[in-house]
Amino acid sequence: MDHHPGRGRLVSAGASSSEPLAGGRSHMCGSVRADDEGSAVVLAGWVSRKRDHGGVVFLDLRDREGSVQVVAHPEDAPGPHAVASEVKPESVVRVEGRVRRRPEGTVNPALPTGEVEVAAIAIEVLTESETPPFPVEDGVDVEEVLRLRYRYLDLRRPEMTEVMRLRHRVVGAMRRFFDERGFVDVETPMLTKSTPEGARDYLVPSRLQPGKVYALPQSPQMFKQLLMVAGFDRYYQIVRCLRDEDLRADRHWEFTQLDMEMSFPTERDVQDLIEAMFVRVWRELLEVELTTPFPRLTYEESMARYGSDKPDARYGMELADLTEAFRGSGLRAFAHVVENGGLVKGFAAPGAAGWSRKDLDALVQEATSRGAAGLVWLAYQRSDVKSPVISHLSPDELGAVASATGAGDGDLVLLVADQPSRVAVALDGLRRLMASRLGLIPQGQWSFLWVTDMPLFDWGEEDHAWVPNHHPFTAPASDDLNPETAKARAYDITLNGFELGSGSIRIHRAEVQRKMFDLLGLTPEQAEEKFGFLIRAFRYGVPPHGGIAVGVDRIVMLLAGTDNIRDVIAFPKTASGVEPLTGAPSEPSQEQLDMLRMRFR
């Protein structure tokens, strides 16, 4: 959290409640103001800094609301002065004193409490602190594991405290929003059966049913559908979900989603509601008025123009398709790809024509590390075009490249030729990289986008079978159930290039569901074994229904202006699944294993 790339100005949290403060405190440190001049105050907090002038000693006393300067003069307050000059940073002290305006010329306008100070009458050290392993202050540059091992110190830093409270307020705004609209918060089980999301499950062995396991929920998907069968009409929950997959900067295996489901909706009903929720959250947290409706992009269009199903539309550099221009090209590598059904695509990066060989090599490296066979670059300088493959390119091809990408003087064109999925992955990565390197990402812009008409199926390379793109209860958009072409009544919501959530209208007709299972290669017996309880429920009158699940961590991450999801989780794990603070996971005791009748291999 050294910088806040996309951060808007956060609206500050409301004043604390009128509840009396615990422990006889009169004020929170950070909330002392000039209005309190002359008041006797009792404060308690952490010593964040000490300035000892030999005579007068200043302590900055910090609590979650901020810090305030405490002064102890040797003449006026010999007792407090003696304590203050000995106390170590991060010790917890209780201060009795009187608020006064600072003397002329010593006001610090940079601090909310900078007009005042507290003249100490008594200082008591409640607990002493050892020297902390890293400075407890904003803007620290410390190895992340160390921050996680001492997370309580890390969270003590004002910027982290602020993020956690931001998260609290986001969740609060969501709850109020859904509550006002008659949505009922229903809790669903944590120890349950495998859900149909397709990720690896976390399993919990059963003590009472030896040899059997519960799965931790990947989402409450089937339960919320059952609640629709139960007639709840509108359900929501802010719920922890778990998926045992490898981590990314924006992905954690223990995450929180805003889960909702409603009866009788159209896609539009769900989308309008979620848009209204985002409007509400952005208004409350940032005082930003989002424009609705959010733009829509079909999945196909998104992949074509951005190479991604979560496009960042805040900047241009859209992808151009040059496949036909390179059919039979003298650039054999490209021609070969085209002959074999691959694509040639690329885009123009404005003003990057002068990049050094080293920078260009780094781009090639970026492309190949994303699985592309290679990267061809063309630098447009004045009327000249430089490229390692320039001798293989015909004037027609050069013309096609320039017109399709819009490349002009000073631009750098990046071309990738490969199978469609690799072209997409490589160019998506390059586009994001170039946008960031060239400073093309506008700050303070919130580019929400719905991606619609998702495919109903994906080809599962590992299973050699069609797998649901969303999950097997997603309703098809039409009678077309051809796995190659079928579209789903599914939609994703994205923000600034991050996927925030995805949802769908569900199947409520038994024969459609049967066909779906059939296409997925599930025999009626297998379907019964996995989802029998849901199928049975649907025999007793199921309303048409649909919903969405939105990732709370990612929303908070974007609001907080960080690109690291761990920054918005109080106690996160590292990429190898270790929680540095507690040391989890740990080995079970023999007694625990015996009780579960388990043995480790």
Partner RNA sequence: GGUCCGGUGGUGUAGCCUGGUCUAACACGCCGCCCUGUCAAGGCGGAGAUCGCCGGUUCAAAUCCGGUCCGGACCGCCA
- Which residues between 129 and 158 bind RNA (CB under 7 A)? 131, 133-135, 140-146
Q: Which of 521/524 has CB closer to RNA?
A: 521
**CB of residue 428 vs RNA: minimum separation in angstroms?**
7
**Which residues between 512 and 571 bind RNA (CB under 7 A)?**
551, 564, 566
* In the block, residue with structure tokens 């907080």: 560
Q: Which of 407/488 has CB closer to RNA?
A: 488
Q: Is 55 in the site for RNA (CB under 7 A)?
A: yes
Q: Is 19 in the site for RNA (CB under 7 A)?
A: no
What is the biggest distance separating any 2 CA atoms in the chain, rounded to whole angstroms? 92
Q: Which of 56/121 has CB closer to RNA?
A: 56
**Which residues between 63 and 92 bind RNA (CB under 7 A)?**
69, 71, 73-75, 88-89
What is the spatial distance between Cα 475 and Cα 531, in angstroms, rounded to a whole number? 16
Q: Which of 117/397 has CB closer to RNA?
A: 117
Distance of alpha carbon 307 from its chain centroid, rounded?
20
Q: Which of 370/508 has CB closer to RNA?
A: 370
* Candidate residues 161, 218, 237, 256; the one interacting with RNA per rule CB under 7 A: 218
Q: What is the DSSP string of 447-479?
A: -EEEEES-BSEEEETTTTEEEESS-TTBPBSSS
Q: Is 239 in the site for RNA (CB under 7 A)?
A: no
Return the closest-CA partner of residue 347 out of 393, 369, 381, 380.
Answer: 380
* Candidate residues 188, 302, 387, 469; the one interacting with RNA per rule CB under 7 A: 469
> Residue 200, exposed/middle/buried by CB under 10 A (0-12, 13-18, 19+)?
middle
Mode of pairing for the β-strands spanning 116-127 and 66-72: parallel
**Which residues between 260 and 319 bind RNA (CB under 7 A)?**
309
Q: Is 3 in the site for RNA (CB under 7 A)?
A: no
Q: Which of 61/415 has CB closer to RNA?
A: 61
3-state SS of 526-589 is HHHHHHHHHHHHHHHCCCCEEEEEEEHHHHHHHHHCCCCHHHHCCCCCCCCCCCCCCCCCCCCC
* Candidate residues 5, 37, 108, 179; the one interacting with RNA per rule CB under 7 A: 108
Q: Is 584 in the site for RNA (CB under 7 A)?
A: no
Binding letters toward RNA, positions 422-441, x by CB under 7 A: ---x---x------------
What is the spatial distance between Cα 77 and Cα 72, in angstroms, rounded to a whole number? 6
- Please report how many Cα atoms fall inside a 13 Å half-sphere around the Cα of residue 184, on the Cβ side: 13
Q: Which of 292/421 has CB closer to RNA?
A: 421
- Find out whether 435 and 360 touch, Cβ atoms under 8 Å: no
What is the spatial distance between Cα 68 and Cα 119, in angstroms, rounded to a whole number? 11
Q: Is 345 in the site for RNA (CB under 7 A)?
A: no
Helices (H), 354-454: 357-369, 395-405, 420-437
Q: Which of 69/237 has CB closer to RNA?
A: 69
**CB of residue 601 vs RNA: minimum separation in angstroms?**
15
What is the spatial distance between Cα 558 and Cα 500, in angstroms, rounded to a whole number? 10
- Please report how many Cα atoms fall inside a 13 Å half-sphere around the Cα of residue 121, on the Cβ side: 10
Q: Given the rule CB under 7 A, which of 127-135, 283-291, 513-521, 539-547 is the region that contacts RNA?
A: 127-135
Q: Given the rule CB under 7 A, which of 20-28, 171-179, 455-463, 524-532 is the region that contacts RNA?
A: 455-463
**Which residues between 562 and 581 bind RNA (CB under 7 A)?**
564, 566, 574-576, 578
Residues recorded for the chain: 601
Report angle CA 260, 262, 264 to the nearest 5 degrees: 160
* Candidate residues 243, 487, 489, 508; the one interacting with RNA per rule CB under 7 A: 243
**Which residues between 487 and 506 bind RNA (CB under 7 A)?**
490, 492, 499, 501-502
